[in-house]
Structure 1
């Protein structure tokens, strides 16, 4: 069979063929499916398109190396995005020496009594993008993993190398920070 004959197979079947039947040439199909998505996720953190493309290539190299360890507990895309978030956050931690607990202490927010999502019903997409740039990269990653990629708490915890309880606490804090920033920066009186 040629690569073209495999192009419509689901990701997990391609992964199985690559890992179990050593059809490594099929990895190119996964690369083509996800390269731009991975570049976009990297770019959302580092704001440099050329670097984001380099990161994406590094991430695909890592993914290829780790492919035999892919257990199929999540979709391939979720697994790949977890590698992407880790890579991007690790880079930012090294570059900016970001340490979440210290950053959080230095950027305290007021308690918001009702963290209901109804408070965000008028939040525009553009305002949300601006707010995501104002919060810590790890909070941004948490929110994207939870609400964009629909990853379960356990996967998020493994990705960020924190406990599931820490994921819950940090997600709550991130949502609160988004509401606070929306209320203080964008909400019209």
Structure 2
């Protein structure tokens, strides 16, 4: 039986049954590893960070409030862990923009839907909080333009313009990744 993330988390918090945690681990291991590898650029370091992340998830799962999806919460934790590890190790790598463009073109051709989703999440989380929330409410929460206008005290035209600017900025940050928000 396939349970939602939220149900697994709720049951795990109550029972501390490691089998429930194992289901979350198996469900997200590949995505977390892919994210870690993108941040760390080394297989062994990425595997180490995955173990650190899931150790933190195990001990901090009770702090998950459900204000976003578990996947988003996990991705933010992943990003923070990898950035912290990189900063601690002082391993900054520099490369030419030509090399980055060529590498990105290769990734774009070979990227799966999962990879494009991760790239979209990366771009989204690099936006200002106001823009993140607006895009999330519109496209992940399926909130109408009319409701967003009411909630923000704006005209519908202003909301549409903010959405367009936020999407454009996300596309730039995602370096043209398939951010399918249109």
State the TM-score, normalizing by the size of structure 1.
0.53
In 2 relative to 1, CA 97–24 (structure 1 residues): closer, same or farther, beyond 3 Å?
same
Q: Which stretches in structure 1 are left out of the alignment for 5+ residues?
A: 1-6, 99-122, 131-140, 158-167, 180-189
Q: Segments of 4+ in structure 1 off by > 6 A? A: 149-152
| Inter-CA distance 25–124: structure 2 relative to 1 (3 Å threshold) | same
CA apart distance, 1:91? 1.4
TM-score (norm 2): 0.55
* CA pair 96-150 structure 1, distance change in 2 beyond 3 A: closer
For the pair 1:82 / 2:50, whether they are aligned, the reply is: no
Pair 1:175-2:172 in alignment:
yes
Counterpart in the other structure of 1:35:
29
Q: Distance in 2 between matches of 1:53 and 1:22?
A: 25
Q: Does residue 153 of the first structure (1) align with residue 129 of the second (2)?
A: yes
Aligned Cα RMSD in Å? 4.2
Indicate whether 1:127 and 2:124 are aligned. no
Aligned pairs, number: 128
Name stretches of at least 5 consecutive residues in structure 2 with no aligned partner: 93-100, 109-117, 134-164, 177-182
Matching residue of 2:38: 44
Deviations 1:44-102 (A, max 9, x none): 0111112211211110000111011111111111111111000111112222277xxxx
1:55 and 1:177 map into 2 onto residues whose CA distance is 23
